[in-house]
Every structure is written in structure tokens, then in C-alpha cells.
Structure 1
Amino acid sequence: MTIEEVLIDLKKKIKTQLPKEITISDVDFEGPELVIYTEEPRKFADDGDLIKGLAKELRKRIVVRPDPKVLAQPEEAIEVISRIVSSESGISSHFFDVDTGEVVIEAEKPGLVIGRHGETLREITKEIGWMPKVVRTPPMKSTTVNNIRQFMRTNKEERKALLKTIGRKIHRGLSSKDKWVRLTTLGACREVGRSCFLLSTPETRILIDCGVNVSGEDNGTPYLYVPEVHPISQIDAVVLTHPHLDHIGLVPLLYKYGFEGPVYCTPPTRDMMALLQLDYLDVAAREGKKIPYESAMIREVLKHTITLNYGDVTDIGPDMKLTLHNAGHILGSSVAHFHVGDGLYNIAFTGDFKYEKTRLFDPAVNDFPRVETIVMEATYGGSRDMQPSRKDAERHLQEIAKETLENGGNLLIPTFAVGRSQEVMIVLEEAIRKGIISDVPVYLDGMIYEATAIHTTHPEYLNNELRTQIFHKGMNPFLAKCFVQVDSKEKRQKIIDDREPCIVLATSGMMNGGPVMEYLKAFGPEEKNTLVFVGYQAEGTLGRRIQKGWKEIPMHAAGGRTETVKINMHIDTVDGFSGHSDRMQLMEYIRKMRPRPEHVLTQHGDEKNCMDLASSIYRKFKIETRAPMNLETIRLA
């Protein structure tokens, strides 16, 4: 059956399901969605269950779009929206897209625009014909979010054409009678870095993650040149679990070499991905390294990105559905669950995950309708890889901060911009609010402020307590007055010169460069100051050397000179803030998984940890396990 025949058949089915007074002018695919065009959008709005019933019957994600001739004029529509929606919603802008019949409403409190069970949205549609789509006004100004939204609006016509092409490819008819599922390992097996897997059927080829090993020169990229991957133009889609560079660093490279398909991920992953990829190019240029792709390719990724919320079941191929679930690792991180064929096979990829409630996130999801195989990380899969409890870690950090500030010193925390920084920020904000530590400024230097602004744009991806605190109590810890952005060299120098007690969170997390080095140079010689590590320090990094006790550090100075900085400040390490599960949590994740998988594949850990975790799962739960090497192809069904 051709795609045109599929659409004609769907149109007939839709007409039989709808009341006779509702007419359909057209149906078409746009990405994974089936778009219904109608001259009676108000009648769809009258019956909130109509679209739900159609989606269930057709097993498609459905969007209703009004015919342009039934739309109210934008000026009139804005007046109506202002009358219907409470002024407390804080609407900041409206954007009318005639091509889609959508009005994008940007508001500080989207829930007030949506209304209970979408009632307010339906009322807006009944009054103006336009289909309202609500986005959050970032409470902290995010350059990344603003630029992405502007870019998508500027390129809406090209994007719509892309989505139509993608939609027709997804919903094409099956061409093969064969039924099999294979997994090819292209990176991150018995190693950490360059995560990349290929999931294949006779119909569909999906890449899961496409990362770079930022610390490895010789084996920095996935094996994208092997026959299973070529031609790259024939890959159907890329699915991203989360936006750390070892999972998304080389996605733009795919577009450089002919890939034209979609990238699926959550909205926060899209925003963080753009931020981190641009920073990756910037750092590579500063260090004189070869840049793997131009920034234009990052824009190409954005143009092709289709965002999915947790729990959305989405067709990504003629024989494959994808559902993303919370992974508890960083903002928007996902466990990617694939349903292959008509009940043929189910496989899930954890990506990096945390099976414990944290200050930011709920524990990773391990409850699925069906799953035969799970591919899981083993970063801390060794038998001795146990982390302190989160509460102990928080108490330890607060004690260090209290002692340092009472002695008139400064606390310097080198940290990663995404995830770890925000966890530490919440702990420090609470300590200041409750009077556990002095009310001092907490300076955010490097990408930390921008990454935090993206967190404030997507609070629905935070845990239940934080959401309640933000939505119902009007208290957002990220907006606390103690946090101060360091957005210039002059401001950084002023902090250093003032020498008033303060806390500084600065990148980079392993002290390989970045603004943290300026503070180290200034604070390092004085005993009253403290440097505290809250993240892993890899072998060979400056952070690791200081952790080992180095007291003199060579650093670059003006004019190409090298100067020696004495480290007399206190050095401390607080374990327990990791976004990865430790050994006990990894085992618990499988023990409590429902349904129990038939196969477990371990990856994203060194060889010893991958094999240790695999053998332990087998011994404990009698599940068939394997720690595959890179370049293996495994038949799953």
C-alpha cells in the first residue's frame, strides 16, 4: 500500500468515527503525527474526548488543525485570549502560525492557560478557531532557549516540509515478510564514552545515541564506518537518551555525511544538547584541536529534532514505536523503550540513570508494559562501587561550607554545568535559607547559569516535591537571591579582589580549564579557603592531581609564561552527588524491574565493571547476561 493509499484509508476511517456535521478538508503525516485539517475546529473543541477516541482507534498521535479561512484575526484573537485567560498566567507573547493554525502562547504559568483537563484551551479554540499551544516563559532568561524558539519560528516552512517527508517515511507500508531484530554495538561497550548503538529490523534502522569520548584521542568516535551503518543516509532516526557529550557529541556529524532523518529526545535534552555542542566546538577551537563539524550542523540537528514528553508512545518507523521514560540522571534524561513489530520484541536502553530519588529527580523508571532485553550502564558496576547516601553527602558539604565561611574563607566548588551544579545549588540554598550556613553570595561562573536557566524552563521534568514547591508554593530555589551570575571577566576579578567570604561554583568540573582556574590561582595559596570536589576526577586531570595532594601547580600566565601556584587551601571531596547509580542501585533496578527482562546487556563502564555487573546479575537473578564488546552484532529475535 502506497502512502497516498494509507492516507485515503485513514481519511475514510476518520469520517466514520466523527459526527456527520464535522467535515475533514485534508489529512497528512507530519513527523510521527497524523494531522487532521478541518473547517470546524470549534466542534472538536466542544468534545474533549473526540481526539482521544480517534487516537485510540487509529493508534496514531493526532493533531487537529483549522482551515486558515476560519481563523480570527490575530489582534481580535489576542483580545479574546486576554478575556478568557487569567491575568495571573503572566502571558508574555503570542505567535500566530497561519500554516499550522497554531497560536503559541508564552506564559509564566502555563497551567493557568491550559486549564483543568485542557478546558481553557478548548474554550480558546471555540472562540478564535486557532489551536493554542502553550510554552513556558523562562523565569531566568535563557539565551539558548530564546535562540532555539526564534530559530524554529524562522525556519517553520522548511521544518514543516521536513516533517512531511519524515512522516511519510515513518508511516510507509511494510516491504518485507521477514521478522528479526538485531543490535550492533558501535561504542561504550567495556568503556565509558562514545555511546552508540544501532537497532535494526528488515524495515527500520535506529541509532541510539552518538557520542564522543572527549578524553580519548585514539578512540574518540563511534564505529560509524562499519557496513551495518552505511549508507548513513538510510538510517531512519536517532534517539537520544540525554545530552552529555559522550552521548550526543557527534550527532551533527551525521548530517555532514548524508543523514536527513529525525532526532528524537525530550525538550530539555534538545535545549541542553545545543548548549553543550556549541561549547564543545568552542573548547576544541580554543585548544587548537580539529573541529569535527561546523555550528551550521548543530542548527541542522535542531531543525530535524522532534521532542517527546515522558510516556508519549510514538511511531518512529513502520514497525517500531518509541516511549521515553524518566532516567533520573540529568534534566530530561530518558530510558528509551522500543516496541518492535506487532508485539514481536521489546528492548529498553537505560542510558545513564539514577535509581534513587535526588534533590532534582524521581528515581529512574523500571516498570514497562513489556521488555525482553535491557541495555544498562555499568559505570559503577564493580562490587566495591558503593556511594555514600545523598543525605550524608549533603550534610558533609554543608559542614565544609559552614567551617570555611566561619573562618572568613572562600569555598570553591569545581563542577559540571549540567546536573551536578543544580543539585549542589539546591543544597546550598536550603542551608542558607535555614541558617545552617552564613548568608553569603553563591557565584555561578561558566555555563552553570545558562544550564540552570534551562532547568527553570522545564520544571515539569523535576521531581514531585520541586514541582509542588514551584507550581503551588511559588518558591523556586533556582531563583533565590543568593545566586549571582558571573557574566564578565570584570565581575570575576571583582569577586577575587574583594576577598569577602563567598561560595563559587565554576566550570570545568575536572579543572581542565575554564573559569575555575582563575579562582584557584587567587584562592589556592590561602589556608582559610577550601576547594571541594563533588564530582569524579579522571586520571590525568588537574583535579585528580590536586586530589592526590599536589601542593604546587604549574599554570599558564600572561605572555605565554608558566607560573607556579601554591595550593595551601584545604582540599576535600564529597562523594554521593553522582547522577549515576552505584552498584547497589544497579542491582536493585533489575531486582525490582517489572516485568523481569529475559536478557541484560551491560555497557558504559570499564571492562572489569561491565563484566562484574553482568556476572552478578546472572548469579543473583538467573537472568541471561552479557557484557558485549564494541563491533558485535547480536540477534535479539
Structure 2
Amino acid sequence: MSTVDRQLEELQDEIVSEIPADISVTDVKYEGPELVVYTRDPKQFAQDGDLVRRLASKLRKRITVRPDPAVLSSPKRARDRVLDVIPEEAGVTNLDFHEDTGEVVIEAEKPGMVIGRHGSTLREITQEAGWTPEVVRTPPIESSTVSNVRNFLKQERDERRDILETVGRQIHREEMQDDEYVRVTTLGCCREVGRASFVLSTPETRILVDCGDKPGSEDEVPYLQVQEALAGGANTIDAVILTHAHLDHSAFIPLLFKYGYDGPIYCTEPTRDLMGLLTLDYLDVAAKEGRAPPYDSEMVREAIKHCIPLEYGDVTDIAPDVKLTFHNAGHILGSAVSHFHIGDGLYNVAFSGDIHYDDTRLFNGAVNDFPRVETLVMESTYGGRNDYQTDQEDSERKLKRVINETYEDGGKVLIPAFAVGRSQEMMLVLEEAMREGEIPEMPIHLDGMIWEATAIHTTYPEYLRDDLRDRIFHSDSNPFLAPQFNHIDGGEEERQAVADDDQCIILSTSGMVSGGPIMSWLEHIAPDPDSTLTFVGYQAQGTLGRRIQSGRDKIPMPDSRSGGRTEHLQLNMGVETVDGFSGHADRQGLEDFVRTMNPRPEKVLCVHGDESSTQDLSSALYHEFNMRTFAPKNLETFRFV
């Protein structure tokens, strides 16, 4: 008998000794980080609302209780009982019964009403129907991404359960090493913005944190082939952590499966969906630009299949000697500060990912309160000594001024925007400004993936700022459903019609003018001196957006009519930069994140910023807080214990 089988047998005996004698336990399994308990008496289990919580506390495991398939009522009979329990106002749109696990997936417009106070309605469902309920939200705006991901995971349910059982046995395997150390190796995003990737290693475990591309660069892949990374094979990595879905953190996650990785990806649920959206678009853009894509769409599906979603604040075993907790990073939907508790109190490391310290219209500010942190690996995008962004209220005033002046001139406002995060922030600002009469009412056209990304935001309102979440719950005040918003889905003909029409605002990807529909909009609008190109997001070095921002007035444009030869387009439209809308903390925000961090770390590695930004921030933190700080280069290894 293996160590894990013996462990499961002991856990089953302990559970039986803790629960009432009239409740049976027929099987106990690991599925990923969870312990799944099967019983012939699910209704009795559900009667005691605290029983599972007490078991989880005693065993220090995340526990799910499922009915033994042998005692399930038929889906037809269970359906009626489930619907009898759930209030009609919950807006149930679908029930999906899985007889192999005894779970019923309930899709509803108002999941909170299906859950009930402290899970009371869920327990009642189990008591009445005998099935274990799982609740998902019906998107207020139809999302093909959310629908496709849910349908795909449903089709792959059997294989996914096999994956989770394998992962569970790996997590709970016996520790084999007596040595103790914690190391971090930098594979990218050091003294540069982009291709974020790190290896966190112990004698027992190797964890890859992020795996992204570098916008505007030919050297875009992290150093994955070095000995510290995948040189020994992709399956020498035990787990992958994805802090958020932006491509400079996620683009090469599917590539790992091409290299043979077959393990888990831990992320939040919206990060999983957004990763699917953005990586598939990444492949599409590569194909349109004539570049060989680094992987195919099948690898994206593999990545989604291997995702294990975690919620903020859940302490989760991901290896025999590592616990992971995600916290809100305030950057984009589902972005997470990743906190690792290593060993039995041996060491704690936090990776900030990308953070925004203060509240924004979209998100609550980043969390920086932890039980323990000895080392912080922190982004430094705006870490330079002069990287102080304009206050958001001032930024909004400037944006409104640009829009009003352009409107009076009879022109159009073209805003290059990242599909995820900044676009939704802009939508909220513009919707309120028109509603309050601060700018004229006019169409707001959304091009590229912006509408689909917005639909995903409305699917997960619990990840948004508290007051915005409450507005989305009520369709009559959902700001993303304002009539001014128009989804561009008619391609070039619709763009031409918009360009020929009256004043309007256009939000279009890509945010750094590095391809995508923004190039088409420039062809249509760039020659118009009455229109304005307005940057509201970070423009990385090497991108066309940065060159335009720096004064370039001729834009290289591939001309399909001349056999692909590059032509140059004269930029006559005005160019404005409105700071303050970035999803990143500025220099003050980064310092405040460390200043108010509880507890304050002993060491900080300043990463994800250009050379001057990382060095400036490292020096400032050292002098201000008397802590050890570093501005590492790529391919450095730090040993902490």
C-alpha cells in the first residue's frame, strides 16, 4: 500500500470517529488540494451545518462531501426538489446533473440566493434532493468565453477528475528530503517589463510562477531551457501559479504543455477564463502577422483543463511542503498576490504579480496583510524616482477636457486600450461622465476583445469593487449595459462607417499599438487633424505606442495591396497622454504597499520594471526602510534559507 493510500485510510478512520454513528463514509479521495468524502447519508451530513467545517478544521484539509452514487435519486426527481427549494427570484437558468459524482451544477442569475445565508439553502438542497450542489453565475452579458470554458470542462469532466486525483496524490505524497532551503530563480522580467517568470524551489518542490511574453521584443520567451527551469523536463515542475491573465504573465503557459508538462495551474476562476481569451487571441494575431505561433489552440485547452481555481483568502496545500494563498492585487479581474508558506514555518515568500495599491473604480486596492512574509518579490513598473502618476480625479478631468475639445472641433477620440482592465475602467468613467452631463452624449465604440472581456467582468462581480458589484447585481443600473456602448462586430465595413460618421469615442485593442484593430482605426482616423489619439495605459519600450508617445508622426503600415511592403502613414491627429489610469501602482503606491505591509518583509526583490526603475525602487526601499533589497538580473538565483 502506498503512503497516500495509507494516509487516506487513516483519514477515513478519523472522519468516522468524529461524525455521528448514523452517518456512513464509503470512500475518501484526494482531488487536487481537496479531500472528497463519499457517504450514503448526504442528508444527515447536511443537517449539521457545522459538521464539515469542524472536520476541515480538525483535519486541516479542504473538504467536499458527495453522495455515494448508489443512493442518488434520479435527476428528474431531484430536479423538481432542487427547484422547490431555490427561490424563484434566484433566476435559475440551468441544472446539470453529474451522476458519477452526485453533483448538480446550478446556473443562476443570482447565485447568492441559491447559496443562502451561511450556505443554508445549499444544505437544504442536499437535505431535500440528496445531491451536492455547485453554483455558478449566469453572465449578465452573454460571454462566449465563459460558455465555451464551462462546456469544455463539462465534456472533459472524467479526464479532469483523473487529473485532480493525480495532483491530489502528488500534493499529499510523503516528503523525501531532509535538507531545507528556499530558492527563487529569475527567468524573465528582471530589469525589463514583460516575460514574467520565476522558479520557486525547495528540496521537495519546484513551482513556476507566471510564464509571459515581452511586448515589442523578439526575445519574448522566458529562459525556460536553463537547468533551473525545464532542462530536466517539463514535469520536473510540480505546479504552475498564474498571478493574472495579461499576456506578459500568461502567454507561454500553454507552451508548457507542448513541452510535456501535465500538472496543475493554480489561478483564480476569472484568470482562467481570461487566459483562454487572451492566449487564443495571441495565436490569432500571430497568424495574421505571418508569424509561426509557438503552440496551437489544443495547448490552450490543455491549460484550461489543468487549471485549479482558488478563491482569495483560501489557504491551499499545493505540495507536501508548500501552502498557497491568493489575495486581491487590485490590478485586473482576478489578479492575485501569491503568498507561499513553505515547510512547517520554515519560510514565507510573496509574489506581488502586478499590483494597484489604491482603490480604483473597478477594484479594491491590493491586500498587503499576511501572517508572515520574509521575502517579497515586487513589481517595479513605475518604480522610477519620477514615476508619480496623476491623481485619478485629475486624470478624469483631463480626459473629459480632451473629449470636450475634440468634440467641439468635430473630431473623434481614439483610445488604444488593453482589453482587460483599462477598457472597463474607461467605460465606467465615460458612462458616468455622460450620465452627469460632463461630456456630450455620443457613441462609444468598443473594438477587439473589449466587449467579450467586459462580459467576463460581469460574470464575476464578486471580484470587483464593492459598490460596482452591487450595481451589476441590478440590471437596470449595470453601467456596462449603458446604451452608448456599441460592440464593433462588422469588421472593416463598420469601422469605415464609424470613421465617416459624426463625433464619437473609440476604445480599441491593442493597448500598446502593437497590432490588432487599432492599426485599422489609425488608417481611418490618423490623417484627421481634428481627432485625438489618447493614451491611457503604459507603453512599453520598443512598442509603436511608445514611439508615437515620444513624438513619432509617421506610422509604419504593412500594405497588403503592395505585396506586404511597409508603407508609412502620416499622423496628423493630436496625441495626448492621460496618466493615472494605469492598473499598476506608481512610485508612491509601491512605497506605500511596503510601508503599510504587515508584517514588513526582510528582503525585497524589485522586478518587472526597466533597469532604472528597478534600481531606483530598490535603493529607495533600502534607504527608507533599512531592509535588504535587490534589483536582480535575469538568470540569478537567490537562496533564502
Q: Same fold (TM over 0.5)?
A: yes
Cα distance in structure 2, aligned partners of 1:220 and 1:512: 17
557 and 198 in structure 1: CA distance in 2 versus 1, 3 angstrom threshold: closer
Q: Give 1:379's aligned residue.
A: 381
Q: Is the contact between residue 214 and residue 220 of structure 1 (CA under 8 Å) also seen in structure 2?
A: no
- Structure-to-structure mapping, 1:608-627, within 5 angstroms: 608-627=612-631
- Of 6-15 and 501-510, deviating more is 501-510
Q: Is the contact between residue 337 and residue 352 of structure 2 (CA under 8 Å) also seen in structure 1?
A: yes
Cα distance in structure 1, aligned partners of 2:539 and 2:639: 37
Q: Give 1:403's aligned residue.
A: 405
Q: Give 1:578's aligned residue.
A: 582
88 and 494 in structure 1: CA distance in 2 versus 1, 3 angstrom threshold: farther
- Of 487-496 and 256-265, deviating more is 487-496
Supply the AA of the counterpart residue of 1:419.
Answer: G
**1:587 maps to which of 574, 586, 591:** 591
> Structure 1 residue 485: deviation in Å?
0.6
The reply to whether residue 24 of structure 1 matches residue 28 of structure 2 is no
Task: Please list the CA deviations of residues 596-635 of structure 1 after superposition, one character each: whole Å capped at 9, or x if unmatched.
Answer: 1111111111222212211211111111111222222211
The reply to whether residue 175 of structure 1 matches residue 184 of structure 2 is no
SS at 1:24 equivalent? coil
Q: Is the contact between residue 223 and residue 631 of structure 1 (CA under 8 Å) also seen in structure 2?
A: no
SS at 1:210 equivalent? coil
Cα distance in structure 1, aligned partners of 2:190 and 2:514: 26
> Structure 1 residue 417: deviation in Å?
0.8
Q: Give 1:488's aligned residue.
A: 490
Q: Give 2:503's aligned residue.
A: 501
- Of 365-374 and 502-511, deviating more is 502-511
Cα distance in structure 2, aligned partners of 1:3 and 1:197: 29
Q: Give 2:635's aligned residue.
A: 631
Q: Give 2:357's aligned residue.
A: 355
> Structure 1 residue 570: deviation in Å?
2.4
> Structure 1 residue 227: deviation in Å?
4.4
257 and 524 in structure 1: CA distance in 2 versus 1, 3 angstrom threshold: closer
Supply the AA of the counterpart residue of 1:515.
Answer: P
Supply the AA of the counterpart residue of 1:626.
Answer: F
- Of 440-449 and 608-617, deviating more is 608-617
Cα distance in structure 1, aligned partners of 2:615 and 2:313: 32
- Of 445-454 and 169-178, deviating more is 169-178
Q: Is the contact between residue 140 and residue 475 of structure 2 (CA under 8 Å) also seen in structure 1?
A: no
Q: Is the contact between residue 237 and residue 262 of structure 1 (CA under 8 Å) also seen in structure 2?
A: yes
Q: Give 1:104's aligned residue.
A: 105
Task: Please list the CA deviations of residues 348-382 of structure 1 after superposition, one character each: whole Å capped at 9, or x if unmatched.
Answer: 00011111111111111100011111110111111
Any stretches of 5+ residues in structure 2 without a counterpart?
Answer: none
Q: Give 1:251's aligned residue.
A: 253
493 and 584 in structure 1: CA distance in 2 versus 1, 3 angstrom threshold: closer
> Structure 1 residue 228: deviation in Å?
5.2
Q: Is the contact between residue 325 and residue 336 of structure 1 (CA under 8 Å) also seen in structure 2?
A: yes
- Structure-to-structure mapping, 1:174-193, within 5 angstroms: 174-193=175-194
- Of 23-32 and 627-636, deviating more is 627-636
> Structure 1 residue 209: deviation in Å?
0.8
Task: Please list the CA deviations of residues 58-99 of structure 1 after superposition, one character each: whole Å capped at 9, or x if unmatched.
Answer: 000100010113222222222222222122211111111112
The reply to whether residue 416 of structure 1 matches residue 441 of structure 2 is no
Task: Please list the CA deviations of residues 292-342 of structure 1 after superposition, one character each: whole Å capped at 9, or x if unmatched.
Answer: 111111111111110001011100001110000000111100000001111
Q: Give 2:201's aligned residue.
A: 200
Cα distance in structure 1, aligned partners of 2:54 and 2:391: 46
Q: Is the contact between residue 447 and residue 489 of structure 2 (CA under 8 Å) also seen in structure 1?
A: yes
Cα distance in structure 1, aligned partners of 2:579 and 2:203: 46
Cα distance in structure 1, aligned partners of 2:509 and 2:228: 39
Residue identity over aligned pairs, in percent, reads: 57
> Structure 1 residue 106: deviation in Å?
0.7
Q: Give 2:82's aligned residue.
A: 81
Supply the AA of the counterpart residue of 1:22.
Answer: I
> Structure 1 residue 552: deviation in Å?
4.3
Q: Is the contact between residue 415 and residue 536 of structure 2 (CA under 8 Å) also seen in structure 1?
A: yes
Q: Give 2:136's aligned residue.
A: 135
- Structure-to-structure mapping, 1:468-547, within 5 angstroms: 468-471=470-473, 475-489=477-491, 492-493=494-495, 495-496=497-498, 498-547=500-549
**1:277 maps to which of 271, 276, 279:** 279
> Structure 1 residue 171: deviation in Å?
0.6
Q: Is the contact between residue 185 and residue 635 of structure 2 (CA under 8 Å) also seen in structure 1?
A: yes
Supply the AA of the counterpart residue of 2:335.
Answer: S
**2:319 maps to which of 304, 314, 317:** 317
552 and 227 in structure 1: CA distance in 2 versus 1, 3 angstrom threshold: closer
- Of 469-478 and 51-60, deviating more is 469-478
Q: Is the contact between residue 208 and residue 240 of structure 2 (CA under 8 Å) also seen in structure 1?
A: yes
Supply the AA of the counterpart residue of 2:444.
Answer: V
Q: Give 1:213's aligned residue.
A: 214
Cα distance in structure 2, aligned partners of 1:189 and 1:556: 32
Cα distance in structure 2, aligned partners of 1:622 and 1:490: 57
571 and 209 in structure 1: CA distance in 2 versus 1, 3 angstrom threshold: same
417 and 397 in structure 1: CA distance in 2 versus 1, 3 angstrom threshold: same
SS at 1:100 equivalent? coil
SS at 1:335 equivalent? strand
Cα distance in structure 2, aligned partners of 1:606 and 1:545: 16
Cα distance in structure 2, aligned partners of 1:327 and 1:484: 30
> Structure 1 residue 385: deviation in Å?
0.9
Q: Is the contact between residue 216 and residue 540 of structure 2 (CA under 8 Å) also seen in structure 1?
A: no
> Structure 1 residue 513: deviation in Å?
2.4
Supply the AA of the counterpart residue of 1:195.
Answer: A
What is the TM-score when the length of structure 1 is the normalising length? 0.97
Cα distance in structure 2, aligned partners of 1:523 and 1:635: 53
- Of 594-603 and 407-416, deviating more is 407-416
Cα distance in structure 2, aligned partners of 1:336 and 1:155: 28
Any stretches of 5+ residues in structure 1 without a counterpart?
Answer: none
Size of the alignment, in residue pairs?
Answer: 637
Cα distance in structure 2, aligned partners of 1:227 and 1:552: 44
